[in-house]
């Protein structure tokens, strides 16, 4: 072995030890590193939380257009809702445009809520919505002050589909076919 290789060996061992110690403190993260093959994304039905199958907690947020919107109020009379966590970026615009084009007409009984987790206030969110070209285009923009809901749902620049009872039916990256399937599976509104 060359002397440079011998000198690098203690540094490499130290780095490996540091990684091992960091992973040891990660608790259940070992499931992510060594998957069991079981889907761990869902939650237990009847419990409250952000996972698929769980009931999302109710919340009240300021609306960019003024006033406040409560999640349970937004769901009243609807089959469900899409919560799209936006920061008004190009990717968000593409996702929202796709929803507008592909989902608004076939799902008129679903509420489309854009949760702005970056603006911080209703006036700033209204301005961001206007500048992004989304004022009066079918999304109700809510202000997720301090990104409380984004952290609660553990999602950013992503979508959550809820049924009328606030049960999470989909949570994750906006994938048009998967979101459509979740919307199609929503129970109909009782007459």
Name the residue ranges covered by the structural domains of the chain.
3-33, 60-184
Model pTM score: 0.78
What's the CA gap between 166 and 81, in Å, rounded? 8
According to DSSP H, which parts of the chain are helical?
3-24, 30-33, 71-75, 90-102, 122-131, 148-152, 176-184
Quote the tokens at residue 147.
């990104």
Mean pLDDT of residues grouped by 10 in the chain (191 residues)? 53 48 42 41 84 97 98 97 97 97 97 98 98 97 97 94 97 97 93 72
Q: How far is CA 69 from CA 10, 15, 22, 189, in A?
A: 59, 50, 42, 21
CB contact at 8 A, 145 and 61: yes
CB contact at 8 A, 154 and 71: no
Task: Tell me what pLDDT residue 10 has.
Answer: 57
Strands 159-163, 80-86: pairing kind: antiparallel
Please, what is the Cα angle at 68 between 73 and 104, to 5 degrees? 60
CB atoms within 10 A of CB 21: 9
Task: Tell me what pLDDT residue 46 has.
Answer: 87
Task: Tell me what pLDDT residue 44 has.
Answer: 86
Task: Tell me what pLDDT residue 190 has.
Answer: 75
- Structure letter (DSSP) for residue 65: T
CATH for the stretch 60-184: 3.40.30.10
């Amino acid at each position: 072995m060359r002397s440079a290789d011998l000198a690098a060996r203690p540094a490499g061992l130290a780095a490996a030890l540091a990684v091992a110690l960091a992973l040891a403190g990660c608790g259940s993260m070992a499931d992510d590193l060594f998957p069991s093959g079981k889907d761990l994304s869902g939650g237990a039905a009847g419990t409250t939380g952000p996972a698929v199958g769980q009931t999302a907690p109710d919340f009240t947020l300021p609306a960019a257009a003024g006033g406040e919107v409560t999640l349970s109020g937004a769901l009243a009379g609807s089959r469900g809702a899409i919560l799209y966590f936006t920061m008004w970026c190009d990717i968000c615009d593409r996702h929202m445009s796709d929803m507008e084009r592909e989902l608004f007409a076939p799902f008129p009984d679903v509420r489309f809520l854009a949760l702005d987790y970056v603006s911080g206030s209703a006036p700033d969110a209204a301005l961001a919505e206007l500048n992004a070209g989304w004022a009066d285009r079918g999304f109700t923009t809510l202000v997720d002050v301090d990104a409380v809901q984004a952290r609660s749902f553990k999602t950013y620049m992503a979508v959550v589909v809820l049924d009328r009872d606030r049960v999470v039916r989909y949570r994750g990256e906006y994938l048009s076919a998967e979101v459509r399937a979740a919307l199609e599976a929503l129970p109909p509104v009782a007459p």
